[in-house]
Chain A
Amino acid sequence: DTEVTQTPKHLVMGMTNKKSLKCEQHMGHRAMYWYKQKAKKPPELMFVYSYEKLSINESVPSRFSPECPNSSLLNLHLHALQPEDSALYLCASSQGVYNEQFFGPGTRLTVL
């Protein structure tokens, strides 16, 4: 299995909702990432997990909460988001933090 999967593909939520994005990989990769991408911009790194431990948190607001239950799974819990948080959220994985990253299909998030 050489792919990263993400669910859901699309998500519409209100500012008071709580939702979660899920990411899974079965390539044995030990690093997993969350990125946020706005239209016509490169991806912005949000979080990096290395060996299931959070190693980088790029000053992301606390309304985004990552979780890595095991080496194959990565979640992003969302709470009290703002309309400006609407974006494509991408998960990626790599063998290590210095290796090629493989991206999932993304979740298109709309916050109303």
Chain B
Amino acid sequence: ELKVEQNPLFLSMQEGKNYTIYCNYSTTSDRLYWYRQDPGKSLESLFVLLSNGAVKQEGRLMASLDTKARLSTLHITAAVHDLSATYFCASIAPDSNYQLIWGAGTKLIIKP
């Protein structure tokens, strides 16, 4: 059964700092998604990672996937206040009946 764990669940950081959110999943999967959610809003797709070693970058966010370690990371570089949001990772696998299995989410607060 596919399970997805994120850590940390809460992160408060200063602007200009770097940090990483971790997403572990329990069974074989070759796709990993990262979503962003602002308070009271819907989910915005950030990254789709489809293969081992995949790395994608958009602005100050960079996501990577290591399928052997069953680990994805979302790295924030020189954080700015606008990146404050909740970030979810999710994975999908045949043994999840092709349903997205979600991490609990990481609430990120970036202080000026």
Known contacts A56-B97, A98-B92; A43 and B41 CB within 8 A of each other: no
A59 to chain B, nearest CB (A): 13
Q: Cβ of A69 < 8 Å from any Cβ of B?
A: no
Q: How far is the CA of A88 from the CA of B86 in the complex (A)?
A: 15
CB pair A101 B105 closer than 8 Å: no
Does A84 lie at the interface of the complex (its beta carbon under 8 Å from any beta carbon of B)? no
Does A78 have its Cβ within 8 Å of any Cβ on chain B? no
Q: Are B42 and A42 in contact (CB under 8 A)?
A: no
The answer for the CA separation of A100 and B103 in the assembled complex, in Å, is 16
Counting residue pairs across A and B whose Cβ atoms lie within 8 Å, the total is 44
Q: Complex formed: what's the CA distance from A35 to B48 in Å?
A: 20
What is the predominant secondary structure among interface residues of chain B facing chain A?
A: loop
The interface stretch among A13-21, A60-68, A103-111 is A103-111
A73 touches B (CB below 8 Å)? no
Residues of B in contact (CB 8 Å), total 22
As a 0/1 sequence over residues 52 to 91 of chain B, the CB contacts with chain A under 8 angstroms (1 = contact) are: 0000000000000000000000000000000000001010
Main secondary structure of the interface of A (DSSP, over half): loop
User: Chain A contacts of B107 at CB under 8 A?
Assistant: 40
Chain A: interface size category: 20 to 34
Q: How far is the CB of B40 from chain A (nearest CB, A)?
A: 8
> Given A42-B88, A45-B100, A56-B99, are A100 and B45 also a contact pair (CB < 8 Å)?
yes
Determine if B103 and A45 form an interchain contact, defined as CB atoms under 8 angstroms apart. Answer: no
- Are B42 and A106 touching (Cβ within 8 A)? yes
Contacts of B43 in A (CB 8 A): 43, 90, 92, 103
Q: How far does the alpha carbon of A104 sit from the alpha carbon of B44 in the complex, in Å?
A: 9
Contact (Cβ within 8 A) A105 B102: no
Within 8 A of B (CB), among A27-77: 40-43, 45, 48, 56
**Known A97-B98, A100-B45, A103-B43; 8 more pairs at CB < 8 Å:** A42-B102, A42-B104, A42-B105, A56-B99, A88-B40, A92-B43, A98-B92, A105-B41
Residues of B whose CB lies within 8 Å of any CB of A are 31, 33, 35, 40-45, 48, 88, 90, 92, 97-100, 102-105, 107
